[in-house]
Structure 1
């Protein structure tokens, strides 16, 4: 049992070059080791420079608490406090070095994070647990299903046991998938032909990188708002209403953090309206690992294989602009059968699931009984 645990707020340095950056670099390394343990790769881990860029996100206040044993950082909890919507929410990412798991370090860090969040006026807490595909196949282990949507997490997981014991309720599941890049050219040709036959020349593609052309700015805002109406289980997305100004601010923030954004949109030729959009993000310091962001098609235009059309095209453009990209990761709700089918056609394979857990903190008194 790690009795001499000291919890403190991590100092965020201005750069990685000074003496005061040592703890920050050590804290980021904890996250890398945990992701290596979970996924067998550090693809999903931050490099210290990338994490430093993320700390300047204008839409979230980011705070990191660390647990030290004998002066060494053995655990971290990242606390994200949204600043523009969901102002009652705090999201935690908890990482404990493998050799210090099961010793009470996580419990102490989580309690400290809950106290911090409540002092900031946040009462709804989200945490996640990550489960690689190999851990999902043992039907004997038992399954815990979420409050909304499909999917499950394994009951025998240490992380699941910890979340439940800490008073969190499983809200929903996100399926986590990976696709090797670049796509095979024969596959691309076959999928593009299939999609074009389905939409019969009624649609036209548009592409841009980083900044939306002025002519499509308000149309993209309409698309983003329509995606919010479709809803994500367990999260209230009604607070953020997009317009051209907000989209420009988001673009500026991404560019300031060194992120690149590859976008393909689709126009319905007869009406001149944008009816679909897909986006891939490329991190500043990690061009080999890229992330699929939103893919959306307006309800009235579904059934024309537009999702397939824009995703194939965008992945092709990504490989042209960023030839170092070797793997594309994406998260989807398991009930989004259409996009999961499209992803399967593109060659995505399921890497695992992420469970999203929620807890409501009281206004006063101890956060954990």
Structure 2
């Protein structure tokens, strides 16, 4: 089997990679939304915040694409780790392709000096058996949920928003489309780092570390990928302190699809229903600004009961469960 790195400039390779992912998802998680070929290329060029991962194509002796390996090299924290996802075409699941891709990833980790491997899988008997059989230990469960905008009850959204407004009278909402204003940038570091209070279960990971440079890198990566960023910020009316935010990214080449990027409330501003205020307020904004959106997807730790409770009030339903594993080398 030949394993080669996928270039973002390889249009046919990106299209083939997406086709393989679609074939896998059709079996393992039919409602999963995957990147378009353009989106795949942008992931490889820019990543989430200008730290793009790598993808490798696995072809058999006849040149057929049988597997895909995604590798992510944390840059700002957890620099001892290499995270991966493995996709094997349903017609080639005798275990050999998976074995070779895992071996490739382990060799890459050793080459670049990473001592911990992370693995994301579907919650299937096959993936569980393969992961545990290779010494990986399950550390967390993530759940992908979707929000069907056509089925959303806007009266419920408005009621949730109005109720949150009553409990948060000392706060106002600030709408930011695209890059943060320079005067907000420094204060947004602490707000963004509030995401570290979200549960990570048993994962051996460090807290996310943010800086003005990293926030700008995120904005640049999203803009270059064609994603429109909507950010709603809760601000104390009296002190001007930034208390929380939520971000939605709308795809440029598929504008009916949007993604929840982040929702966080600073610890010293909790107890005012700011999470509900931000989530419901964002939906009301998007109804005005992006009426073509048909679906918004979000990911949470299965143990994040507080955020899941808000999401379920807003018509989010489960797409699939995914397992996070780690293995020390």
- After TM superposition, the score normalised by the length of structure 2 is 0.91
Equivalent-residue separation in structure 1 for 2:197 and 2:206 (angstroms): 8
How far 1:228 sits from its partner (Å)?
A: 2.7
Asked if 1:360 corresponds to 2:328, the answer is yes
Structure 2 match to 1:186? 155
Between the two structures, name the one with larger relative contact order (CA 8 Å, sep ≥ 6): 2
Q: List runs of 5+ in structure 1 lacking aligned partners.
A: 1-5, 17-21, 132-153, 362-369
Equivalent-residue separation in structure 2 for 1:332 and 1:49 (angstroms): 26
Tell me the SS of whatever aligns to 1:75. Answer: strand
Q: Which residues of 2 match residues 152-191 of structure 1 at below 5 A?
A: 157-181=125-149, 183-191=152-160
Q: Deviations over 1:299-348 (max 9, x none)?
A: 22222211011001112222332222211111112222211111111111
Equivalent-residue separation in structure 1 for 2:173 and 2:22 (angstroms): 39
Asked if 1:59 corresponds to 2:51, the answer is yes
From 291, 302, 305, give the equivalent of 1:323. 291
Q: Which runs of 4+ in 1 moved over 6 A?
A: none
How far 1:35 sits from its partner (Å)?
A: 1.6
Structure 1 179/213 Cα, relative in aligned 2: closer, same or farther at 3 Å? same
Equivalent-residue separation in structure 2 for 1:254 and 1:235 (angstroms): 28
Structure 1 match to 2:5? 10
Equivalent-residue separation in structure 1 for 2:230 and 2:120 (angstroms): 28
Larger Rg: 1
How far 1:168 sits from its partner (Å)?
A: 0.5
How far 1:11 sits from its partner (Å)?
A: 4.2
Q: List runs of 5+ in structure 2 lacking aligned partners.
A: none
Q: Deviations over 1:62-102 (max 9, x none)?
A: 24242324211111111122334322221111111111113
Asked if 1:31 corresponds to 2:28, the answer is no
Equivalent-residue separation in structure 1 for 2:39 and 2:94 (angstroms): 29
Aligned alpha-carbon RMSD (Å): 2.0
Structure 1 match to 2:103? 111
Report if the CA contact (8 A) 1:60-1:82 is conserved. no
Aligned length: 324
Structure 2 match to 1:281? 249
From 210, 215, 224, give the equivalent of 1:247. 215
Equivalent-residue separation in structure 2 for 1:123 and 1:60 (angstroms): 20
From 112, 115, 126, give the equivalent of 1:123. 115
Structure 1 270/24 Cα, relative in aligned 2: closer, same or farther at 3 Å? closer
How far 1:285 sits from its partner (Å)?
A: 2.0
- After TM superposition, the score normalised by the length of structure 1 is 0.82
